Structure 1
């Protein structure tokens, strides 16, 4: 094969018609990090508690972000946007949201500010 090949996400190559097994899991490294998984789980629990104290427009933004944050292999750009949205909403509500904002920012730092 010649030329530039770029693979994002999973990549499957089939050779022949039988006995094909295996899949290349591209980009799965960050999600496999136990510290990241724990930090996301803690953030999700905190966000769900904070959600009950938010006005409806903020609840809608949180609800859009939760599935991305809970996904095992969310695209980095989507996860980044979801973390920024959660951090901004949490910061906007003041002291009650401060722990959530700090947790979201810690995760952003863990991800290298993707």
Structure 2
């Protein structure tokens, strides 16, 4: 990968010992009264984040850093700041567009997320 830092998003599992391991802690907190995220949007965001992580390893360091800076703002959370999410989506889409065919899955994933959040 490019750059000096690696950022890992998503679930983190630590196993200590070999018995009594019954599940995974998601670390998500739902505020009371908050509407649950749209499952289709959650799936589209997961797909985009996975594709962006793959792309990150195939671009120059400056582009990889721009992807790293953008990923935290790409979320299915309905309360996420719209402008910041849109800026992050456009940044990742721009990088994907500049690298041609290797960026195509990311560009398509960005378009799916944009289509789903346009109604929010």
The TM-score normalised by the length of structure 1 is 0.69
Residues 70 and 92 in structure 2, CA contact (< 8 A), matched pair in contact too: yes
Alignment correspondent of 2:118: 112
Give the alignment partner of residue 87 of structure 1, picking from 89, 93, 102.
93
| Distance in structure 2 (CA, Å) of the matches to 1:87 and 1:67 | 15
The TM-score normalised by the length of structure 2 is 0.66
1:64 paired with 2:69, answer yes
Alignment correspondent of 2:41: 36
- The higher-RCO structure (CA 8 Å, 6+ apart) is 2
- Runs of at least 4 residues off by over 6 Å: none
Higher helix content, 1 or 2: 1
Matched residues, number: 89
Give the alignment partner of residue 48 of structure 1, picking from 49, 53, 72.
53
Instruction: Report how far residue 106 of structure 1 moved.
Output: 1.5
Q: CA RMSD in A?
A: 2.2
Structure with larger Rg: 1
| Distance in structure 2 (CA, Å) of the matches to 1:113 and 1:101 | 20
Gap regions ≥5 residues in structure 2: 1-30
Alignment correspondent of 2:24: none
Gap regions ≥5 residues in structure 1: 1-21
| Distance in structure 2 (CA, Å) of the matches to 1:33 and 1:63 | 24
